[in-house]
Structure 1
Amino acid sequence: MQPTSLLSTIDALLSNGYVYIFLYIWVLCGVWVDLSNVSSRSKKSVFILSIIFLFTFIGIRWQTGTDWDSYKKLFDTLDLNWDSVVTTRHFDSGYVVLNLIVKSITDSYTVFLLVDSAVTGIILYYIIKRSSFYPSISVFLFYSNFMIAQFMGSNRRMIAMVLILWFFYFILNQAKIKSVVTLAISFLFHRSSIACVISFLIPKKIFNIKQTVLIISIGAMIGILGVRSSFFEMLNIFMQANYSDSSMAGSISAYTLHSEDHLVLYTSNPIVTTVLALGKRCVFLFFYIWIIVNSKKVIDKVTCFFYNINVVAISMYIAFIGSFFQMLSAYWAFAEIILIGRIFYYAPIRIKILFAVFMSFFGFFQLANALSVYLDLYIPYLPFWTTIHRL
């Protein structure tokens, strides 16, 4: 199955992807509701409905999204005993436990998906509610930039990603025990999240422009000089020498030796994807810097820290371009849904409207690009009650 061009994906969206367009229009309306003068109660209602719509959409899908067969096979074949937590390979223990709990109650994979998405949605709802001044704007960025690529198929990783947002929040508030526990739980659902441990080193004081440029430049130099390849080769040698029997060692070996092939396989046109991703990051970063520099209000500590996380995410993305490990930057990049919902607070109304218009158009292309990875697995969207089956 080959990736589809962006123009072909847009054509498919307009002809047979109505449900994705409906959701896009809904979350886009939420942006304008957040920016309007309607009551806070109305804004909260739109936010809650958006979360319900999106995670129900994830939960009731059937044969839609990536990795469908492997996750369903795990649920269908999993033995109902706690030894499965240890003996099941290629799936993280926390995710296996969640499968065991649901399967002990019902054999319905749809019920499992609904539970999996509900857990994720609830965790995400509360971190956005607590941290974002404009929650529906946060939801819009979530849908257009992250949901399709990160949540429509990766049943394990989506729980890990929303937990990492809480991990960042606890680091900021110096809740060391809570941050460590949250990271540990995230690790149980997707081991790659352990990379976020380096977030303890991210300073709380906001990066100035020179520091921002320096950090991003370091990422560019790492990518250009190929330092990352040497690092992962050494990591692969270490893991094979000391933990050769572990599935993590196997994964690191596979991704290190065949990272470029894996990247091409799991993206659409790599050039289009990279241009869109870097273009979006640069425009958004310019917007953040402009707001921070020109704000007449003191930027609060949460916004400062999440801005720093975003700068680190951009640097990591650039450093790992062309490598499978580029996907690791998604944990830090995901924090942008909180940052965007806070930074808008400091912008003049005219700038808010102009940037919201930009987001309206650019977000659609981001959504289309995410769908183009495996268009046939997303369009048409199939709910669990469908009589249609994908070939």
Structure 2
Amino acid sequence: MNSVRTIFQDGGIYIALYAYLALAMIVESIYDNEAFSRWTARAGMIVIVLLIGFRWNTGTDWMPYLRVFYTTDSSSDYDSVVFGIDQGYVLLNRIVFYFSDNYSVFLILDASIAVGAVYVFIEKSTRLPNMGVYLFYTSYAVTHFMGSNRRMLAIGFVCMGFLFLSKERRIWEGWPRWAVPFGIAATVHRTSLAGLAGLMVSRRAWPAWAVIIGLLACLGLGMAGLPFSGLEWLGGTLAQYTGISAIDKLVFYTSGEAELGTDVNVALQAALGVAKRSSVLVIFIAYMRFGNPSQYAQRLYNIYIIGCAVYFAMVGSPIFQIISTYYSIVEIVLIPIIFAEIPKLKVPYILYLLVVPLLLLLTALIPYLELYVPYRSIFSTF
């Protein structure tokens, strides 16, 4: 409770933005006006860009990426600073640094590209963009977009790649529409290639019984630690091939060298993550069973299921659970798509969306409270 009180007292900017986006979402659900929805949603995304871009010494990713920006290739510690950093991201740093050595300029550009890509995904997928922006902010903006400069770019371009599925066509028809975004994503964070599996999902929603059995099996395997043990074995087997970046990273993340903050309760975070996904799955499964979902909605649903499977299988291994984000982010458009088609359940649906995402925002801030609260910007005097 002390942490929650601290957020409301000293992290007012996070709560104020939540309040604005929640209000815009509520008004949008009552007042059906396309122009209003579009411009209030865009305003919300611009504020999120500024929140990310104007921060200073705020967020879990601050120091590592600050060093990448200011370390030139002639520096003696250059190799250690950029270890494991994909070359596309390094190149972006060098290009921006050539024109300006102001790190805030880089952050604004970085955030504009990543958040802009996510917004295109939202606006082209649903007629309720405010709801999509609200869900993006509460579930992803703080955790991932203020947690990794590289990952947020990769997530944004993966979202652009998934837009390919909005039209009925085979994967080789108009392939540059998904290949280019995924190619760019891979240059800044190679783990984004995992998202390619989302392009190959069935055009029809997987049956509920298969989804439930499969996810329970994944959760059981995850709780037993078998998938992570398999990765540990693979890392140990390949450890002799040092010098290959992907192998070095695998060994690093499975050897115990990568530690989370000492205040992070991994078990509690995992339990909350499973509970949140389970509640969303109830809505999704019910809609697929009793609603009239489009082919696009059914494919997004299948992508979300893959994300849940990865998350459940890696319970207790937060580093590898992050990969599930490339799939689960589709919820920011699938939830609004469903909401638009069930007007009779508007009130309980809104109540659910007001409570659960707020809890997600709070649980994203609490483990790293000292890194996020108070919010420090380039205009701060402390």
Task: Tell me whether the two structures share a fold, i.e. TM-score over 0.5.
Answer: yes
Q: Distance in 2 between matches of 1:56 and 1:284?
A: 29
CA contact (8 A) 1:204 1:305 kept: yes
1:275 is displaced (CA, Å) by 2.7
Q: Distance in 1 between matches of 2:54 and 2:144?
A: 17
Q: Distance in 1 between matches of 2:255 and 2:83?
A: 21
- Residue 256 of structure 1 is matched in structure 2 by 254
Aligned equivalent of 2:270, options 274, 297, 317: 274
CA contact (8 A) 1:80 1:103 kept: no
3-state SS, counterpart of residue 104 of structure 1:
helix
Deviates most, 57-66 or 168-177 = 168-177
CA contact (8 A) 2:154 2:189 kept: yes
Aligned equivalent of 2:146, options 146, 152, 159: 152
Structure 2 regions of 5+ residues with no counterpart?
none
Q: Deviations over 1:227-247 (max 9, x none)?
A: 3134313431454344x2023
**Change in 2 beyond 3 A, CA 1:351/1:23:** same
- Residue 322 of structure 2 is matched in structure 1 by 327
CA contact (8 A) 2:151 2:188 kept: yes
CA contact (8 A) 1:59 1:114 kept: yes
Q: Distance in 2 between matches of 1:266 and 1:281?
A: 25
1:265 is displaced (CA, Å) by 3.0
Q: Distance in 2 between matches of 1:88 and 1:374?
A: 24
Q: Deviations over 1:270-289 (max 9, x none)?
A: 23322321221111111122
3-state SS, counterpart of residue 161 of structure 2:
helix
- Residue 195 of structure 1 is matched in structure 2 by 194
- Residue 162 of structure 2 is matched in structure 1 by 168
- Residue 218 of structure 1 is matched in structure 2 by 217
Q: Distance in 1 between matches of 2:212 and 2:163?
A: 25
CA contact (8 A) 2:288 2:298 kept: no
1:38 is displaced (CA, Å) by 4.2
**Change in 2 beyond 3 A, CA 1:180/1:109:** same
**Change in 2 beyond 3 A, CA 1:266/1:282:** farther
Q: Distance in 1 between matches of 2:331 and 2:213?
A: 20
Q: Deviations over 1:41-81 (max 9, x none)?
A: 11111111011011111100011111211111111122499
CA contact (8 A) 2:40 2:130 kept: yes
1:194 is displaced (CA, Å) by 2.1
- Residue 339 of structure 2 is matched in structure 1 by 344
**Change in 2 beyond 3 A, CA 1:214/1:168:** farther
1:258 is displaced (CA, Å) by 1.6
**TM score, norm. by length of structure 2:** 0.91
Q: Distance in 2 between matches of 1:331 and 1:79?
A: 31
Q: Does 1:103 align with 2:97?
A: yes
Relative CO higher for 1 or 2, CA cutoff 8 Å, sep ≥ 6? 1
Deviation above 6 Å: which 4+ runs of structure 1? none
Q: Deviations over 1:333-361 (max 9, x none)?
A: 111112112111221x2312211111211
Aligned equivalent of 2:116, options 112, 115, 122: 122
- Residue 179 of structure 2 is matched in structure 1 by 180
3-state SS, counterpart of residue 239 of structure 2:
helix
Q: Does 1:292 align with 2:288?
A: yes
Q: Does 1:131 align with 2:129?
A: no
Superposition RMSD in Å: 2.3
Q: Deviations over 1:311-369 (max 9, x none)?
A: 1111211110011312211111111112112111221x231221111121122111111
1:208 is displaced (CA, Å) by 1.9
Aligned equivalent of 2:12, options 2, 18, 28: 18
How many positions carry a matched residue from both structures?
A: 374
1:200 is displaced (CA, Å) by 4.1
1:168 is displaced (CA, Å) by 2.4
Q: Distance in 1 between matches of 2:52 and 2:201?
A: 33
1:26 is displaced (CA, Å) by 0.7
Q: Deviations over 1:122-166 (max 9, x none)?
A: 211211111123111111111111111101131010010111112
**TM score, norm. by length of structure 1:** 0.89
- Residue 38 of structure 2 is matched in structure 1 by 44
Q: Distance in 2 between matches of 1:219 and 1:187?
A: 27
3-state SS, counterpart of residue 346 of structure 1:
coil
1:197 is displaced (CA, Å) by 3.1
1:203 is displaced (CA, Å) by 1.6
Q: Distance in 2 between matches of 1:22 and 1:230?
A: 43
Deviates most, 24-33 or 271-280 = 271-280
Structure 1 regions of 5+ residues with no counterpart?
1-6
CA contact (8 A) 2:89 2:187 kept: yes
**Change in 2 beyond 3 A, CA 1:178/1:237:** farther
Q: Distance in 2 between matches of 1:214 and 1:368?
A: 31
